[in-house]
Amino acid sequence: MSIKRYPVSTLANGTQIELYIHEIQGKLGDGPTIGMSAAIHGDEPTGTQILYQVAKKFMDGNFRGRLLIVPVANPPAFEANDRNTPIDSVNMNRVFPGNADGWFTEQLAAVLTKEFLQKIDIFIDFHAGGDLATVDYNYILNDEKLTRSFGSKVHYRPKEGFAGTMYQGVSGGITIERGVPTMVVELGGGRVDQRGYVKRGVQGVTNVMATFGAIDEALAPLPEQIILNELAIIRPKNGGLLISQAPPLGEEVAKDAVIGQVVNPYTFEVIEVINNPFDRGIMVLDHLDTTVIFPGCYGYMIGNLDTAEDS
């Protein structure tokens, strides 16, 4: 395994910001270059933990093709445990393919595009729920086989992607435009033990490698899968303590069911009650521990089972 360091910029305090890309060359013959990235949002380190374990598992090169791994796509945000880059307050996953003459975040995205996104044949981008919330679903983008093979129960087929993402740039696609099979994994996060999510992430990558011929290992048994066509993002209107009453992630939630309450931490008054907006919903994102919530933050994500596709 080799590590390449690509300079991006120098901060006013003299610190040089570099992008680290791990390359593991398979020794079993030709195969795809599988690219994996994590922590483009700095408060989502679960993907970094997954990629650490993936690198350990495959560092002996017993596979076909090549792995390119970006464990931390946004180093300043990762250090600050912040969704956005603290240098310029920009969400890096909205500025691709970047701009070498733009904001710092755009400069970082430009390096990532040139040295990583333009060199891969398959792309897996790891996200999580952030510092407070926990999430469990994957995006189906341009290759349903890829997403299904990862082995999650719940998937989401968006009608359109977010402009400026690593797979769909502001001025056109990046990996998708090149025809690169692409998926976004949303797994883990929050103030709970991440080891189960990390184990699932490593198995998911192993499944993908088997599906695309990089290894001969049999796929782990896949669960019955649900493809959502509609997701509701619920943002509490009030801040306070969010006390969740939702069922576990991936389970059905009844019509009008109370999924959480916002409580004033000073008076203990319930100031907001949050209900399931669908006749038949399924939990996708939740706060699995009582957490401080801010007005407009991600509170819950619920999928609509009435418009979903079964496996």
Find the helix or strand (DSSP H, E) in which 47 lies: helix 46-58
- Write the Ramachandran bin of 305: left for phi over 0, alpha for psi from -120 to 50, otherwise beta: alpha
Question: Where, residue-wise, is CATH 2.40.50.100 in the chain?
Answer: 229-310
Question: What integer pLDDT is reported at residue 171 of this predicted model?
Answer: 67
Contact residues for 99 (Cβ-Cβ < 8 A; gap 6+): 106, 107, 109, 110
pTM (two decimals)? 0.95
Quick one: fold of 229-310?
OB fold (Dihydrolipoamide Acetyltransferase, E2P) (2.40.50)
Write the pLDDT tens digit of every residue in 200-225. 999 999 999 999 999 998 888 899 99
Task: Report how many helices (DSSP H) and strands (DSSP E) the chain contains, helices first.
Answer: 5, 20
Contact 36, 68 (CB under 8 A): yes
User: Which parts of 177-254 are beta strand (E)?
Assistant: 182-188, 226-228, 231-234, 240-244, 252-254
Can you tell me the distance from the alpha carbon of 233 to that of 299, in angstroms, rounded to the nearest whole number? 8
Question: What integer pLDDT is reported at residue 163 of this predicted model?
Answer: 86
| CATH class of the domain whose range is 2-223 | alpha beta
Can you tell me the distance from the alpha carbon of 238 to that of 295, in angstroms, rounded to the nearest whole number? 5
> Which segments of the chain have a pLDDT < 50?
none
Mean of the per-residue pLDDT values of the chain: 95
The amino acid sitting at 151 is G
Question: Where, residue-wise, is CATH 3.40.630.10 in the chain?
Answer: 2-223
Can you tell me the distance from the alpha carbon of 40 to that of 93, in angstroms, rounded to the nearest whole number? 7
